[in-house]
Chains A and B, each alone.
Chain A
């Protein structure tokens, strides 16, 4: 019998501090699927907020730090498309000298956003839904356009037993988070969010699923303020036992 697959969880700074239950669910889910889960302590943030705002020297330092922390991981699983994108797309160019670059490229190859890991690496697509009824999905920008991933989440959500998946109109439109954008231009960010929430309400779904903590923070923040009955969940929160 071959040794179990090893995966290190990169829980992300938002995940660690604001949505720890998502991390917990992922650990339990992966273990149920036979994956040995590791958690390199000392991880903090992938550096995307620094990178996006132009603080590249600082972002590079964080990148080098992160590459070192995950050096020995067989796979790295990330619950946010934006952080996965940062590692896979920007780290190699950011870290500096050629040796570090090679390591960053190796890390990029071993890093996967959660839905990609489940579908493409583990080949698992069928799960029971933790929430019955109609569900819909918001494509987070970095997962969709950065990592070119539209199908893995839909495969998982489409096969959910006990739930009915419907497409969200304008699913590929930004939710308005954009990191610091949400507080630099809060009025525009909110107007964009309003469009997203209107589409979500119109879809008739009881639950909106996303694969990014930033999107969830924005969407949940708006839903709560409006007292909406619509729930916004991370993918990990809706995947129950496998079928």
Chain B
């Protein structure tokens, strides 16, 4: 990936200087944030449902083997097939095998972060199966050869002008930079693909163990098309998406769309139970469910277990002061934003987040917004702890903190530090403030003044204060 050659800080800086992106991010995240707030304001049962949803996720993990086995039995009972992928690579191979065996030449895809996670599209293309993204946002970024920048609105970083240019260049269709007109073009182009495709690939928002039902939550209708028109349907699913029963499912449906976009429900909530039945005019002949591990199993007993509750709603992105400033691409991995840092660590190990773990002011807005109340800041601190314990943090930093720990660990050293600081700062203080720190310390003072250490600290004034 092009992005990985640069550092996170560079990519963040690049994003900050991109005027279009800054405006798009502000508008989109503010809108989503507002919509979510209004939806829950109008919804007194919402808080109790969030607690229930969190509890169901935890309860499911506590009997995960049981529920997944039940899911597999149910899927097989209704005529589907289950597959087990420990790695991304395995998941790709399973899907390519199915494509090859069924003679697929073109696959239509409904939006699936799981398929982004395993980098499926490149593999399909290389194997001679043309992947066609059908979610409008995903379609746009596919044409642009980019990756999604937001979990639920993949193309929010693009202006309508940019989309019009893209369509003109890639589709050779001239059209005004008008969302209605652009959407109509996408509808035409993709309708033909839906009707012709051999293979439909989706993710799964939920999979109900009791009945083998895969649930898709979409707005455009492509989820229904992809799972009804092609001969074969493959659903790729993170194994934590399983829920025990249809009754459990309703708890999540009650809060998912509200958290993501403020809607009571998305336009299409599609419940798919295996391939088509006898007497059905439409529906796939074959249904495959690919259960994806890719680091999830390893966290069942790990510090990131709670991130397995994630519903992929994107609410945390919309409130994160960091995400709102830099957008999704700067994170450099499939999943951006607060939850994205945890998922990246889960999938790629602690080394992959040695910078990202600090891409947070620990403000806690994410935990507040999360429908299942995932304590993201707590786990970010855990990642930082691991980075420190494994000595992955750079040694100058470790030195500074070690020094700090020593100084505040001893009142003698602390008392000594104050006059030393006053001495060192003397050449830097002008008119009661410090405007420039020398050498590499300018990180603060480049944009902000710094107060000097007081001529008399509180502790130094206490003696007389005590006597007042």
Q: Which residues of A contact B (CB under 8 A)?
A: 11, 13, 15-20, 23-24, 27-28, 31, 39, 41-45, 47, 49-56, 58, 61-62, 65, 141-142, 145-146, 172-174, 176-193, 217-218, 220-222, 224-225
In the A-B complex, the 7 residue pairs with the smallest Cβ-Cβ separation, listed nearest first, are A178-B361, A54-B384, A221-B448, A174-B363, A58-B405, A54-B385, A23-B458
Q: Can you offer 19 A-B residue contacts whose CB atoms are under 8 A?
A: A18-B452, A20-B458, A41-B411, A41-B462, A47-B408, A53-B358, A54-B387, A65-B409, A145-B363, A145-B364, A173-B321, A174-B365, A182-B444, A187-B12, A187-B13, A188-B326, A191-B16, A224-B449, A225-B448
Q: Which residues of B contact A177 (CB under 8 A)?
A: 361
**Among A49, A192, A224, contact of B404 (Cβ-Cβ < 8 Å):** A49
Q: Which residues of B contact A221 (CB under 8 A)?
A: 444, 448-451
Chain A's closest residue to B319 (CB) is A173
Cα–Cα, bound, A188→B320 (Å): 12
Q: Which residues of A contact B359 (CB under 8 A)?
A: 185, 188
For residues 419 through 468 of chain B, which have their beta carbon under 8 Å from a beta carbon of chain A?
A: 421, 433, 435, 443-444, 446-454, 456-462, 465-466, 468
Other than the known A17-B457, A43-B411, what 13 A-B pairs have Cβ atoms closer than 8 Å?
A17-B418, A39-B459, A49-B401, A53-B388, A54-B388, A55-B405, A62-B408, A141-B361, A176-B361, A182-B443, A185-B12, A218-B448, A224-B449
Chain A's closest residue to B320 (CB) is A174
Q: Which residues of B contact A39 (CB under 8 A)?
A: 459, 462, 465-466
**Among B361, B449, B451, contact of A189 (Cβ-Cβ < 8 Å):** B361
B269 close to chain A: CB less than 8 A:
no
Cα–Cα, bound, A184→B16 (Å): 15
Q: Which residues of B contact A62 (CB under 8 A)?
A: 405, 408-409
Q: Report if A185-B448 is in contact (Cβ < 8 Å); known contacts: A16-B458, A20-B457.
A: no
B209 close to chain A: CB less than 8 A:
no
Q: Which residues of B contact A190 (CB under 8 A)?
A: 446-448
A44 touches B414 (CB 8 A): yes
B175 close to chain A: CB less than 8 A:
no
Cα–Cα, bound, A192→B421 (Å): 29
Chain B's closest residue to A20 (CB) is B458
For residues 251 through 268 of chain B, which have their beta carbon under 8 Å from a beta carbon of chain A?
A: none
**Among A18, A55, A142, A222, contact of B448 (Cβ-Cβ < 8 Å):** A222
Cα–Cα, bound, A185→B362 (Å): 13
A184 touches B358 (CB 8 A): yes
Q: Which residues of A contact B383 (CB under 8 A)?
A: 54
B447 touches A222 (CB 8 A): yes
Cα–Cα, bound, A186→B445 (Å): 9
B138 CB → nearest A CB, Å: 27
Q: Which residues of B contact A56 (CB under 8 A)?
A: 385, 388
A24 CB → nearest B CB, Å: 6
B352 CB → nearest A CB, Å: 16
Q: Mark B1-26, 1 if CB is under 8 A from A, else 0.
A: 00000000100110010000000000
Q: Mark B324-360, 1 if CB is under 8 A from A, else 0.
A: 0110000000000000000000000000000000111
Q: Report if A146-B364 is in contact (Cβ < 8 Å); known contacts: A50-B404, A176-B321, A187-B16.
A: yes
Q: Which residues of B contact A146 (CB under 8 A)?
A: 364
Chain B's closest residue to A172 (CB) is B365
B381 close to chain A: CB less than 8 A:
yes
B58 close to chain A: CB less than 8 A:
no
Q: Which residues of A contact B90 (CB under 8 A)?
A: none
A51 touches B381 (CB 8 A): yes
A188 touches B388 (CB 8 A): no
B386 touches A54 (CB 8 A): yes
B12 touches A16 (CB 8 A): no
Cα–Cα, bound, A27→B466 (Å): 9
